Structure 1
């Protein structure tokens, strides 16, 4: 029974990490686009802008938590963040599904250092 519980925990950790990596890649794309337009666009390129653009009570702390890879986020929070950045769930899933074990492992090591 303990083995099953630890396997579930590990699989959940991987989902949390993959979600954080995917969100970071999406935000990075927005930051790259924003820098090419000399900041003259309304692109959502920061945690503050994500929270402000969410049309909800999403806080910067909640956004930060989703990007950290350390804590669980609700599906509603993830969807709000994705839509606030101007993406669709389809965009999220395309990035999420292409993540490699190497990327996940590298990110996990970085998260553990902090």
Structure 2
């Protein structure tokens, strides 16, 4: 069974990944198309230079499943970010963000 403190980490990770992907989607919309911006789960999996599957990527973004650090690093780097970028975003997640995520993402899917 996953402890509450670990659930918070899983949710904060999902929120952070979603924000990073959202930033890529915004950049993609503004792009002239000359640069291929990773803006979907499929592109993350394909760009990971690994055997990362779309299901694994989806699991990390869902906030429901525990992901390995290797998976998180592969996802972050395949989106064109560094772990410093990830850490900066992760540290900005508040309790309010977590409650909103639980209410609007986790509980809606149940």
1:39 is displaced (CA, Å) by 3.9
Q: In the TM superposition, what are the counterparts of 1:2-81 in structure 2 within 5 Å?
A: 9-81=3-75
- Residue 101 of structure 1 corresponds to which residue in structure 2? 95
**RMSD after superposition:** 1.3
Q: Distance in 2 between matches of 1:81 and 1:40?
A: 22
Unpaired runs of at least 5, structure 1: none
Q: Deviations over 1:14-59 (max 9, x none)?
A: 0000000000000000000000014442110000000000000000
- Residue 113 of structure 1 corresponds to which residue in structure 2? 108
Give the TM-score taking structure 2 as reference length: 0.94
Query: Is 1:44–1:50's contact at 8 Å kept on the other side of the alignment?
Result: yes
Query: Is 1:22–1:95's contact at 8 Å kept on the other side of the alignment?
Result: yes
Q: Higher helix fraction: Structure 1 or Structure 2?
A: 1
Q: Distance in 1 between matches of 2:33 and 2:93?
A: 29
Aligned length: 108
